[in-house]
Chains A and B, each alone.
Chain A
Amino acid sequence: MSVAAPPTHAAARAVAATKIYGSGDTAVRALDAIDVTFEQGQFTAIMGPSGSGKSTLMHCMAGLDRVTEGQVLIGEVDLSTLSERDLTLLRRDNVGFVFQAFNLVPTLTAIENIMLPMDLAGSAGDTDWVDEVVSATGLADRLKHRPSELSGGQQQRVAVARALAGQPQVIFADEPTGNVDLNTGAEILGFMRNAVDEMGQTIVMVTHDAVAASYADRVVFLVDGKIVDERTDPTPERIRAHMNQLGA
């Protein structure tokens, strides 16, 4: 699908985005009129205590879920106007995903997993770009392997490569290092950082790990469905201190 070049530099943004679960007395406001913009070429971390709505925000922004009120835009496309099918195509063509675990289809090889969104679209993708992404993963010799033959870190790098391969407008990562050891985590975060710096990609990452968040350009803090604060140029210490202050 074609997306008109955005007049602003927003890769994705939410306007008064509200998400309410349930109804009546039991209604829960998971997102409460959130306004947030994710700039192109920026690495943003969303932090917050459990139940703060950070995952809900990510799901709504990524087109996996719909907001109850307000707007979510990827580029200039308002997701609330899209049919289920168009939303799926938007995810395929304009959004990249990295989940905490189970990122890869076990029956497909590493390279097939990387190419998956493009194969689903029936397009060959930008071969030079894909080559660049693949070589950046450092897994060129393991591309024919299946996920079960790769280490946890390698699997996550393949997942990041898949998210990058289609040159989406924005990549959403949900605790991408939640399931790997510290060194591997650092490796993956470095890879993501690199994707933003060297390849000009836009990444939004949900995490509760201060160290992980410190790789981002900007950290957005969420409490009770509201953005309570944000920091640029974060360090782990400052983030930790801030989180403590928020009572996480």
Chain B
Amino acid sequence: MLKLALRNLLDKKIRFALTTLSVVTGVTFVVGTFALTDSLRSTFGDLAQDIAGETDLTVRAAQEIGNEADRPTMPDSLLDEVAAIDGVVEASGTVQARNVVIVDGDGEAIRPQGPPALGMNFSSRVFFLIEGRAPVDQEFVVDATTAANNDLQVGETYDINGPVRSQPFELVGIFNFGSPDTNTSLGQTMSVFDTRTAQQFLGFGDRLAEIRVLVNADVAEVRAAIGAAVGADYEVITQEIAAEEQTEQFQNVLNIFTSILLVFAFIAVFVSAFIINNTFQIVVTQRVREIGLWRAIGVTPKQVSRSIVVESAIVGLLSTAIGIAVGMLVSLVMRAAIRASGFGLPSGPLVLRPRTVVLAVVIGLGVTMIASIVPAMRARRITPIAALSQDHRIERSGWRRRVAVGGAVTAAGVVCLALGMAGVGSTAAVLALTGIGALVTFVGLNVASPAIARPVVRALGRPVQALFGMPGRLARENAARNPRRTASTAGALMIGVTLMATTSVVGASVSSTIADVLSDAVRADYFVRSEASPFDPATGFPAQLLNDLENRDEIESVVGYRVAFGGMVVGGDSRDVVTADFDTVERHMDGDVISGSITGGDPLTGIALHVDPADDLGVAVGDTLEATFPDNQTDTLTVTAIFADAAIYGNWLIDNALWEQHFGRRDYRFGTAVAQVEDSQVAVAEVTARYPGVIGENRDEFREANQSLVNSIFAVITVLLGLSFVIALIGIANTLALSVFERTREIGLLRAVGMTRRQLRRAVRWEAAIVATFGGLMGVVVGTVLGVAGSLATPDSFITTVDVPYATLAVYIVVAGLAGLLAAVLPARRAGRMNILEAIAHE
């Protein structure tokens, strides 16, 4: 049987290659993702060890609540206490803040894309000077990568935007971070000052972030001694823990990256499974006579199915091997690209963990074999009579059953979707219901789609026939000829298009929501934000900017906003906190206050919240809440207002004054201004021009910026999904090549009676176009339904307006059709080249 399987594979090299290619793509994706992230992880693990290795113990404030950026600080008097403890050789205080942005010689803000822009104080243990000297008062030094990429020169003076204000500093040195030989700043920009300057400029006053300690005695004993001296508000961590935390932070980022890539890999594999299944189905159909002959000469049904399974195993194994090799190559290239894009990434070996190999085999081999089970089972049912029969077809399961089963499964999916949309249960449950509903609906539609394939494909083919006459007619008929094959070929394409359409609908809805929120709920005329990555939770701009703006006559009032995700605990759960200025914010925003008033609320003891958590906690205006902040302080706050629009304030709003009591960060994430006069644009531009890297926008600009951000996110997703689209096209080419082969005689006949090669190629190409358009159409229909469902299920803070981007969706259908034309070029050429006499004589 092995010999038979091998011979079958070698006979059909092109089909074999195409089938393999589709599996290879999925495996490559998985292996590439893991090899890359594992390598980065191990590199970074080593690096974190190195950096932490310079410190034996670290003293810092204990933190239970909120982000690392909101860890409470400590008075610098603690430094002397720690230094006095027996066994402590050296104790140095550190300060560190984000959003410390250097303005280069051209007046451009230096903003790393993704990694933070850090401001720190100098220590010769981690900053290894390669040029100049250590900074003293009102001076700074910078990491080598940032200096080189932005042409920063020692001796020059540069403006730096800090959390509070913008200030000029002289650059006196350049350093390698982490190691004397190479800078391992990992894409972060590091502006480093002497401790006093850093404390003042970064808003620490006379406080410190951490104390780093070197010891000359037993580390555990010294740790205990320091712990006892500083008390329970502080913690002392070893270098192992510090390294672990560093690595963990990095891992969290990597894990998100890995998960996203794996989702796309999964989609690619899913599409490949369709193609493999389809290929084996067709192959079995084409070999019915041959298999019948085997059966007649005594091959058992089991042996027949085994030969199919062996064939698929060979395809799977080979694809896996190629996929692993290509995946490693891809990860090498990607790592080089990351390094080339300016990340100070140390080199290290590429890591291929056993887990990656196992997964690759499970996916490559597993998916191929699972996809071949049904065809193998069908091959088993072939009787010896089939060898003699004229009709090559195997009896197939009834349409009626197909429609019934498919319909039932689809209905179940739709019920899940409906429940999700109706908002049953928690947000998690809603999203889960919607997701499962989508998957089930998709499977159901695929079961039922052969039943609708014929009428839909015939309808789609009508214009083709009208346009191209007989070749068009043949394209149309051939597309409708084998509904199951058409449906599953189109199905592979449908997956990608469905996801792309869903993404488009959700993206358009988010975009429309932004526009609606702006026109309905936002009253401010100007918007101030940093041009840094909006995904960095600690992104921001100097607080002074808003004061400058408010001092202009053209501006009536300004409001600064800050955000701390999980920055507060109320009722036992951590909550996302947004800040504003109570007394002015209602002139800038309309959060749809349904009871009480934000204006007039006490800045230090008031809190406003959304109606949902208010209902959950059973509080009304005038009631009190216990809120605990990152500094471990608990305040009793009075509810001053309850609002209904979560798109503006999120769920929890406090005043900036209360924030400043409990949080160290002083920069603003976002600012709004209300104009005093019509002509105020110039004033805003003048103020923001003094803060490079900060953007001031009017309403239109702000809306466009937000929408283009949303659009670019969804564009990236669409591109990644496009990969599954490409795999599906391979599937179309594959199916079509098989179909052409199957119709050899018919093609010979057509050519004999006078069909030109051109007409024949056209017929084959347009057949593919019709099938692909069918896939695109189904994908768009299903994707739109899922997108609308998803948008309705998404919490109101993200999407309130559901928008269907008809033009984009129409483009997807057209692109699918055109892609089909393209995919068919090779099969069409092969059909055209067929020798007529051989074709006519073909069995």
Query: B residues within 8 A CB of A64?
Result: 752, 836-837, 840
CA distance A62 to B753 in the complex (A): 10
Please choose the segment from B242-250, B373-381, B442-450, B742-750 that sits at the chain A interface, where 4 or more of its residues have CB less than 8 A away.
Answer: B742-750
Query: A residues within 8 A CB of B470?
Result: 116, 119-120, 122
Highest count of chain A CB atoms <10 Å: which of B471, B746, B758: B746
CA distance A59 to B838 in the complex (A): 11
Within 8 Å by CB of A84, from B477, B481, B749, B757, lies: B757
Query: B residues within 8 A CB of A119?
Result: 469-470, 473
Contact A105 B836 (CB under 8 A): no
Mask: chain A, 92-130; 1 = CB below 8 Å from B; 0 = not: 110101010011111110001000110111100000000
Contact B752 A97 (CB under 8 A): yes
Q: Is the interface of B mostly helix, strand, loop or mixed?
A: helix
B interface size (C-beta, 8 A): 24
Name the residue on A nearest B842 (C-beta).
Answer: A102
CB distance from A103 to the nearest CB of B (A): 7
Query: A residues within 8 A CB of B478?
Result: 107
Query: A residues within 8 A CB of B398?
Result: none
Highest count of chain B CB atoms <10 Å: which of A91, A95, A104, A105: A105
Name the residue on B nearest A174 (C-beta).
Answer: B840
Q: Does A135 contact B (CB under 8 A)?
A: no
Query: A residues within 8 A CB of B840?
Result: 64, 99, 102
Q: Does B547 contact A (CB under 8 A)?
A: no
Contact B751 A99 (CB under 8 A): no
Query: B residues within 8 A CB of A89?
Result: 754, 756
Contact B754 A88 (CB under 8 A): yes
Q: Does A162 contact B (CB under 8 A)?
A: yes
Contact B477 A88 (CB under 8 A): no
Query: A residues within 8 A CB of B753?
Result: 91-92, 97, 116-117, 120, 162
CB distance from A67 to the nearest CB of B (A): 14
Query: B residues within 8 A CB of A107?
Result: 474, 477-478, 481
Contact B752 A102 (CB under 8 A): no
Mask: chain B, 752-765; 1 = CB below 8 Å from A; 0 = not: 11111111000000
Contact B746 A105 (CB under 8 A): yes
Name the residue on A nearest B471 (C-beta).
Answer: A120
Highest count of chain A CB atoms <10 Å: which of B473, B745, B754, B757: B754
In residues 192-237 of chain B, which contact A (Cβ within 8 Å)? none
With A59-B837, A122-B469 already in contact, the answer to whether A105 and B752 are too (CB < 8 A) is no
CB distance from A148 to the nearest CB of B (A): 9
Mask: chain B, 461-502; 1 = CB below 8 Å from A; 0 = not: 000000001110110011001000000000000000000000
Contact A93 B754 (CB under 8 A): yes
CB distance from B90 to the nearest CB of A (A): 87
CA distance A164 to B837 in the complex (A): 22
Q: Does A230 contact B (CB under 8 A)?
A: no
Query: B residues within 8 A CB of A187?
Result: none
Name the residue on B nearest A92 (C-beta).
Answer: B754
Name the residue on A nearest B469 (C-beta).
Answer: A122
Query: A residues within 8 A CB of B481?
Result: 107
Query: B residues within 8 A CB of A99?
Result: 749, 752, 840
> Chain A: residues with CB nearer than 8 A to chain B?
59, 62, 64-65, 84-85, 88-89, 91-93, 95, 97, 99, 102-108, 112, 116-117, 119-122, 162
The 8 closest A-B pairs by CB, nearest first: A92-B754, A107-B477, A119-B470, A91-B754, A88-B756, A117-B754, A120-B470, A102-B745
Knowing that A88-B755, A91-B753 touch, tell me 15 more A-B residue pairs with CB under 8 angstroms: A64-B837, A64-B840, A92-B754, A93-B754, A99-B749, A99-B752, A104-B749, A105-B746, A107-B481, A108-B473, A116-B753, A119-B473, A120-B753, A122-B469, A122-B470
